[in-house]
Structure 1
C-alpha cells in the first residue's frame, strides 16, 4: 500500500492519526495504487475514474472526495514526494549552502520513499515508472510541468528564507530553484533511458541524481575544453 510520506519530526512531535483519519488515508492510498496499476497496465487515456473506483470497491462520488480528476490521482505519489522534499529542505542544517541542502534533501526524499514504498503499485519502482508515463502522455506532462513551476516558487521561497533574502530583489533563490528542477527532471529522463539504472530501482535513481549534481558545478563554471 502506498503509505503517505511523513514529514521529518522529532519523536515527541510525531502526530498520531485517529481511526477516521487512518481509514481515509487507507482509502486514498488504495485509490492511488489502483490508478497506478491501471495506468501502467492499460494506459492513462484508456483508464476511467469509474474503473479506478470499482477496483477499490468505492463509488465515483467517493473518488472525487479525494481527487479532483484523473490527473491529480496520477500525480499523487510524485506530489507527496515533492511536499516531503520541501519539509526535508526546511529541516536541513543552516550551515549547508543552498545547493548542499537541496542535494541532501532530494537524496533523503528518495531514500525515504524507497523505505516506505518498497514494492507494489504504490512502490518507488512504480513511482519511477510513472515518470515515463508522464513524459509520454501530453495531458499529464502539461499538468506535471505546471505543478513543477509552482514547486520551483516554493523552493525559491524556502531558500530565500534560509538565507534571509528577498526573492523579489535577489535573483539567486529563483535561479537556483529553476536549475535544481531541471537537474532533477533530466535525472529522471536519464534514469528512464538507462536500462542498468532502471533495473536498480531507487538506488539507480539516487546514483543518477548524484551524477548529475557532480557535473553541475563544472558545467556552469568550468571550462568545457
Structure 2
C-alpha cells in the first residue's frame, strides 16, 4: 500500500512511518497542509493519513480541496480523541474514517487495511484463489496446508499483482507502490523482488509472467478464480 502521512508532530510522524514501513507499506511524509496539497496534485496514493491541526493549511481545508478537485483517495483523519466536533466536521467534508490520538498502531494498521479493502470492494482481509489463501491482515500466505513465508516487501508485491490477477501491472506502478519517494530503488530492484517471489510461489499453480517492456502479471495455471471470504 502507498500511503501519504500528513502530520506536523515529527516524533509521532517518525513512529508512524517506521511502523507502517515495517508492515510492508511505502510511506511518504509531509509536515504541513499546503505542501501536502501541492504534492497531491501530481502524486497518487492508496491512502492519506491526515492530521487536522496542521500549519499553513489545516487538515479539514486540505481535505475539502482534495474532494473539490475530484480526488477520491481514501482519507483517514487523525483527530484528538476528545474533540467530537472535529470528527463530525471531517466526515462531513469527505473523510472516510478517523482515529483518535493517542492511538494503538495495531488499530491504525487495521483501519488502513479496512479502507483499502473498502475501495477495492473487499469485505474481508482473506483472499482465496483456489487452494491458495492470502491473509492480508496477518500478511500470511498458505497453499493447501502449507504456510509460505514471505518478507513484508515480497508480500506487498504479491498483493499488488494478485489484486490485478491476469492483468499487466507496469514496473513503474509497482515501484511507486512498493517504495516511498525517500527510499532508494535502483533500476533492477523490482526485478530482484520479482525473482525472489517467483522462487517461493507454488509454480504449479501461480506464476508471474514478465511482459517485456511493460511490466508483470500474475496468473493461475489452472484458471482458478479469486474469492474474498
Q: Same fold (TM over 0.5)?
A: no
When normalised by structure 2's length, the TM-score is 0.23
When normalised by structure 1's length, the TM-score is 0.23
Q: Which has the higher strand share?
A: 2
Q: Which has the higher helix share?
A: 1
